[in-house]
Amino acid sequence: MPRATRASSRSTPTPLVDAPAPVPAPRTAPAPDDGLTQEIDGLVYTLDAPPRRQGGRRSVVTVRLASGGDAPLVDRADLYSYRARERLARLVADVFGREPQTILGHLALLLDHAERHARRGAREPQDVALTDARRRAAEELLHAPDLFERAAQALDGLGLVGEERPRRLALLVAVSRLLERPLSALLLAPAGSGKSTVLDAVARLTPPEHTRSVERLTAASLYYMGPEALRHRLLLVDELDGQAEADHPLRVLQSKGELRLEATVAGKVEAFVCSGPVAVMSGTTAGHDLDVQNASRCLLVPLDDGVEQTRAVQAAQRRAWAGRAASAPELGPWHDAQRLLAETLPARVVIPYAERLAFPARSTTDRRASARVLGLVAAHAALCQRRRARDRDGQVVATVDDYRAVFGLVRPLVDHDRDGLSPRAVALLRALPAGADRGGVTRLDAARLLGGSYATARRALDELVDREALRPVAGAYPRRWRLVEVVARALDPAGGLTEPDTLG
């Protein structure tokens, strides 16, 4: 690791005679903003070149006091590595007498500043003015009685295979960006199961000016995106790990609808505001190791990693190479239809039968689960609002058909929504046969019951063992596990959602 360097100051001897008054140095114009230098809280940070994500390039970082004084600190660090930033933050904090966490925030801001400067030349999506012909075509689409199903089917031509439930839930979360309180979703699946494919397909069906897609999201980047950058937008983060640093401000933005920060930049105190509301979608392989705060605020959507889904993906790959891939839909009408829906924000929806709906009340997690179900119903009504009545206040009146469309999608998720357990673990718990409490089940048995992979079954078994719902059968080979009946009954979901047909 290269050493940080700091030149030592030398004392200047006192002159024996009066020296002429020094001539003031000519003032130089401020250097143009090249994205490589930034002053934050009295410290000036300078990079030798724009940081690069690929290749693990280490930037030369120079840190000095804005007021001058001692020689600067110079070090190398890969600014895209959290561990490298943390090491550099400790070093800078030690030299300049600051807190490491404060310097860590400075480095995140420095990196975000460099990235924004690099993107400055890129063309940002602008609002689109619709012609009369495009508006008529969009209105015709919005009046289609099977609008939601047509949207779900359009994803076939965008590379999405199968995943019938996840694709529909992802679409509703995307539409929820139009509401006063948008939803968030987290796709759960092993690596290589198609999380990015789902996110990409939904993003392509959404107008580009309504989405923000990022690979990495820092705490600072949210504050400096701009007041309107995320308002009623769909924020797509490729992997949950890519937003780990921004978890807290993102939760605040989703809960309160606004972020505020005051920071000293170039010697002046500036206020930064980021306004919501925003819908967020991401993916992860973490399963039951998810942070509780993240899991409680998101709709957890497991993807299908079973054998049949794998065969369907392989068949689609063969069709593509044979020149018979599903034709891509014409995206213009879909984009224009959503632009029309966004002309009046937020979309206000009332669900007149909401008080007649019953939800499980097993733990505190069910409080947010019921709110998510109602949010999905509102999103479906907002999408289909051209075929819905409005009340005297101009609110879209949701029908039972909106609840019916959502019911089949969320019932398995609500039934499987257990505090601390992933959907796969609860599915295995409910699928275990009665004989499992005697002879037990192997990992292969569990994989067959779940219809998924061996690795997924192993993780589900490990979860249930941790919760003391299963215990190993002594001396069995291959290893077997049996149900602990008392604990299993306590974990088994009780109650359920109201059937749509009972609402009349």
- What confidence tens digit (pLDDT) does each residue in 49-107 have? 888 766 567 888 999 998 877 778 999 888 888 788 889 999 999 999 899 888 988 88
pLDDT-wise least confident of 202-211, 335-344, 354-363, 430-439: 430-439
Mean pLDDT of 316-341: 91
Query: In which band, very low, low, confident or very high, does the pLDDT at 249 lie, cut at 50, 70 and 90?
Result: confident
Mean pLDDT of 240-265: 74
Q: Over pLDDT 70: what percentage of the chain? A: 78
**Stated pTM of the model:** 0.69
d(CA 5, CA 71): 9
Mean pLDDT of the chain: 80
331 or 255, higher pLDDT: 331
287 Ramachandran zone, left/alpha/beta (phi>0; psi -120 to 50): left
Query: In which band, very low, low, confident or very high, does the pLDDT at 443 lie, cut at 50, 70 and 90?
Result: confident
- Exposure class string for 389-402: b at 16+ Cβ within 10 A, else e: eeeeeebbebbbbb
Mean pLDDT of 230-254: 78
Q: What is the pLDDT of residue 392?
A: 94
Q: What is the pLDDT of residue 10?
A: 40
Give kind and range of the element (H or E) at residue 457: helix 454-466
Provide the 3-class DSSP secondary structure of residue 497. coil
Domain residue spans in the chain? 37-119, 132-415, 423-491
Q: Determine the CATH number of domain 423-491.
A: 1.10.10.10
CB atoms within 10 A of CB 192: 9
Contact (CB, 8 A) for 75 and 88 = yes
Provide the 3-class DSSP secondary structure of residue 445. helix
Query: In which band, very low, low, confident or very high, does the pLDDT at 29 lie, cut at 50, 70 and 90?
Result: very low
d(CA 339, CA 319): 34
pLDDT-wise least confident of 65-69, 140-144, 147-151: 65-69
Q: What is the pLDDT of residue 14?
A: 42
d(CA 251, CA 229): 17
Mean pLDDT of 453-468: 78
- Exposure class string for 306-331: b at 16+ Cβ within 10 A, else e: beebeeebeebeeeeeeeeebeebeb
Question: What is the token pair recorded at 221?
Answer: 């980047």
36 contacts: CB under 8 Å, gap ≥ 6: 46, 47, 48, 49, 50, 114, 117
On the question of pLDDT at 379 being above 70, the answer is yes
Kindly report the CATH class assigned to 132-415: alpha beta
Q: What is the pLDDT of residue 125?
A: 62
The structure tokens 């660090």 sit at 77
182 or 474, higher pLDDT: 182
Q: What is the pLDDT of residue 5?
A: 52
